[in-house]
Structure 1
Amino acid sequence: MDVRDAVEADAERLAELTESPEDVMRNLVHDRTVRVGVVDADIVGFVSFDAQRDTVYVTQLEGPSEARERLLEEPIRFARNESMQAELLVSAGDEPTREIARDAAFVEAGNGPRFEGTETVRYRWTPS
């Protein structure tokens, strides 16, 4: 899988992956850092993140497990290069993503906010 920066033309595919409106994904590409995972010219997943003060916030992580594992390396690399921590919110019942976070050296840091009634768990990565 190759990883590249997302461009506005990717919004349609990102919308398909998330079942979100295309204009929402277009705004995401403009407002956040978005990296896409590409296999055989097809976008299979993406990660979006935003850096604020001393933390890189992973705002979305989509795609099959293997793609998400690789894509999560992108905000970690950014955080490491900038000597920042990274944070990821995961739905409490999403064990596959929780495992991906733990495998990437994120540690559970308590409960996160509820989104549309869904409990989340906050994971934090700290540079060593």
Structure 2
Amino acid sequence: MRIRDALESDAEALADVTGRPADVLVDTIHDRTVRVALDGDGDRDGDHDGDGNRGTEGGFDATDGLDGFVAFDVRKGSVHVTDLAGTPSALERLVEEPKRFAKREGMDVEAVLVDGEERRADALENAGFTATGPGPRFEGRATTRFRLERDE
């Protein structure tokens, strides 16, 4: 698996896996730091079983060699994870990107997840984040705020 900066050309694949319009993802790529995880096992189409379809893994529709992505930005002195999606192994790798940036800059990291997103919550908790309480409602759904304090 390889992690790299997202490009405008990734917007269609990101749109496919998020259900958002591609132009919204282009804006995200321009406005935030976005990293993508790519299938790096040498399987050019990433189908693993040879049927031409990468299928889903853990609820993430892995497509076009894309195993996941993370988007984050800085607001009010903290790094905010604004999007996190991927296969379980990609989530583990991707969550390290905002952590690394925050450590370099001496900042905390925050994320808000819709309640019930267990894979994402597990990835955050395994990376040292703690649930700090309820977050803002998102499209009428309850959320939980996660935080990773900077090392003093």
Pairwise same-fold verdict (TM > 0.5): yes
What does residue 75 of structure 1 align with?
Answer: 98
Count of aligned pairs? 128
C-alpha distance in structure 1 between counterparts of 2:14 and 2:118, whole Å: 23
Find the counterpart in structure 2 of residue 119 from structure 1.
Answer: 142
User: So what's the TM-score if we normalise by structure 2?
Assistant: 0.81
For 1:105, the equivalent position in structure 2 comes to: 128
1:18 aligns with 2:18: yes
Instruction: Write the letter of the residue equivalent to 1:59.
Output: T
Q: Which has the higher helix share?
A: 1
In structure 1, what is the Cα distance between the partners aligned to 2:118 and 2:7? Answer: 30
**Cross-structure match for 1:66:** 89
Q: Taking structure 1 as the reference length, what is the TM-score of the superposition?
A: 0.95
**Partner amino acid, structure 1, of 2:29:** V
Distance in 2 (CA, whole Å) between partners of 1:10 and 1:53 is 29
1:53 and 2:76 are equivalent in the alignment: yes
Structure with larger Rg: 2
Following superposition, the deviation at residue 37 of structure 1 comes to 0.3
SS in 2 for 1:123: strand
Per the alignment, residue 28 of structure 1 pairs with: 28
Mapped to 1, the partners of 2:108 and 2:26 lie a distance apart of 27
Q: How much is the aligned-residue C-alpha RMSD, in angstroms?
A: 1.1
Q: CA separation in 2, counterparts of 1:14 and 1:110?
A: 29
Partner of 2:7: 7
Structure 2, unmatched stretches of 5+, are 45-64
Distance in 2 (CA, whole Å) between partners of 1:85 and 1:97 is 18
Q: Structure 2 CA distance, aligned partners of 1:53 and 1:114?
A: 20
Structure 1 residue runs without a partner (length 5+): none
Deviation at 1:96, TM superposition (A): 2.0
Read off the aligned partner of 2:34 and give its amino acid letter: V
Return 40-49 or 118-127, whichever deviates more.
40-49
Shift of 1:53: 3.2
